Amino acid sequence: MTAATATTADTFRPALHYAARNTWLNDPNGLIFHEGVYHLYYQNNPLDNVWGNMSWGHATSTDLLTWTEHPVAIACDEEEDIFSGSIVFDQDNTSGFGTDSAPPLVAIYTSAFKPGSAHRGLQAQSLAYSLDSGYTWTKHAANPVLSRGSAEFRDPKVIRYDGDAGSYWIMVAVEAQDFQVVLYKSHDLKNWEALSTFGPANATGGVWECPDLFPLPLDGDPGNPQWVLTVNLNPGGPNTGSAGQYFVGGFDGTTFASSTTVTEGLQDPARLGEYQWLDWGRDYYAAVSFSDAPDDRRLMIAWMNNWEYANQIPTTPWRSPMTLAREISLHTVDGKPRLIQKATGNFAALPEAGQAFSLTDTAIAEGTHILEGAAGSVQRIDITLTPGTAEEFGLVVRGDGTCGTRIGIRPAEGTLVVDRRESGDTDFHESFPSIDSAPVRATEGSYDLTVYVDRCSVEVFAQGGQATMTELIFPPETSTDVTVYAIGGTATINRLDITQFG
């Protein structure tokens, strides 16, 4: 389906998600909570709304929903582009960039060296530091601090390790084309010692990028911590294009050992659906977590786009949003450790745009049925469904009575599907119209979905966050209907609650 071209710059501008004012963004970088503020840095082209001139943009929030954009934090120059990385609070001033009474924030980023540099053609890790809580940055005079002589060594995530092996900084980065995570340690952030490597393993259908490593208690038990290693890849996702996968296991301060690896070495394409994915949708990439989040929460944000069509999505003058922040936890599901994800942020403080809508114990007859009074373009939808005789049943959001984005359950297949072939403007790239799927099984005979609908996206959390799907959509402003449907039989709505946001 082809929709009319956007007539205003804000037709698709999200209400719940961060997007730069009038430029391009991609990977989230340097996520950190510091002095009561969440800092979101990101890959940014400050001169255009397509990829290029890579620098670190910057936005801040106190509630993870309302963001303030700031000037470019770390800018590219004639010698280097500023690729992805992370930020740590160097509380003990191990780097010497600050003082004991005024310790610095330190950014560890990838320098992608240009032809005019003495390091031309290489990617290596560099430092910048801030003495004003992250608003202005100074590049380290002795950059880069770690080079492997590689053109594909990038995306350092640095954490503080305190364990039986000692106390020091750990860096996880990637040799992207080798499908390998490389681990280093340092006592001062400037001098690094190689520790170990991980991979190739599981999904290797595209380059590995943007790793992360962190501990989580299994089933909420602090006496049973597990380590989670995430790594994004492009392409090679479960529904094609960009995606992120994760492994669960142990980390002894030197080596990460996965207990959830399905395939060693290069992937078996037939087993793609067995791997553990951060998200099964088309538009969840480069996900990384915040450093120093309050109450030891593990909070994660991803870039909401896909490299298959990233530069072509029909937004102007900005291009690409971020996902909602997600709180992630680790639980045993079917005997295996799995990440559970829930959207987080102070939703209760958002202005509501209209009357809440609710239904209980309502049959869905075969066909499609518009819910009068439920229409909206920015919504949270909570629904519990019980299958009857239908082959597929679910919701259509951002619809016009005929078209829209279909979110459905196919119980015989055990799948959740998102169909955006008739979601609005889809003809800007041949790979955008799609039916994407994720594995999902009934819990006590029913299916629970929480769906966040925004002006250019849907984020679906199934079965309490056991499976998620994130998808961009570009519907006409007038397409606001919510519809329920059943194909080949009937189903039942046990409950349906819709909150409208302004």
- Enzyme catalytic residues: 27
97, 107, 349, 360, 458 from 87: Cα distances, Å: 14, 4, 29, 47, 29
Element (H, E) at 125: strand 123-130
Q: Could you tell me the CA-to-CA distances from 123 to 48, 93, 144, 150, 232 in Å, in that order? A: 23, 26, 9, 6, 18
SS3 at position 131: coil
What is the spatial distance between Cα 358 and Cα 371, in angstroms, rounded to a whole number?
A: 10
Report the amino acid identity of residue 64: L
Q: Would strands 336-343 and 357-364 be described as parallel, antiparallel, or unpaired?
A: unpaired
Give the residue among 183, 231, 182 at the shortest CA–CA distance from 207. Answer: 231
CB atoms within 10 A of CB 265: 11
How far is CA 187 from each of CA 98, 158, 167, rounded to the nearest angstrom? 15, 12, 8
Residues making up the chain, counted from first to last = 502
Closest listed residue to residue 56, CA positions, set 128, 152, 132: 128
Nearest in space to 470 (alpha carbons), one of 400, 420, 396:
420
The beta-carbon contacts of 333-337 under 8 Å, at least 24 apart in sequence, are 333/466, 336/260, 337/218, 337/226, 337/248, 337/259, 337/260
Phi, psi of 417 (to 5 degrees): -125, 145
Judging by beta carbons within 10 Å of its beta carbon (0-12, 13-18, 19+), is residue 311 exposed, middle or buried?
A: middle
Please enumerate in sequence order all residues whose Cβ is within 8 A of that of 230, keeping only pairs 6 or more positions apart, or say none: 211, 212, 213, 244, 245, 246, 247, 278, 287, 288
Token couple for 342:
């829930």
What are the residues whose beta carbons fall under 8 Å from the beta carbon of 132, sequence distance 6 or more? none
Spatial CA neighbour of 170 closest among 149, 195, 151? 195
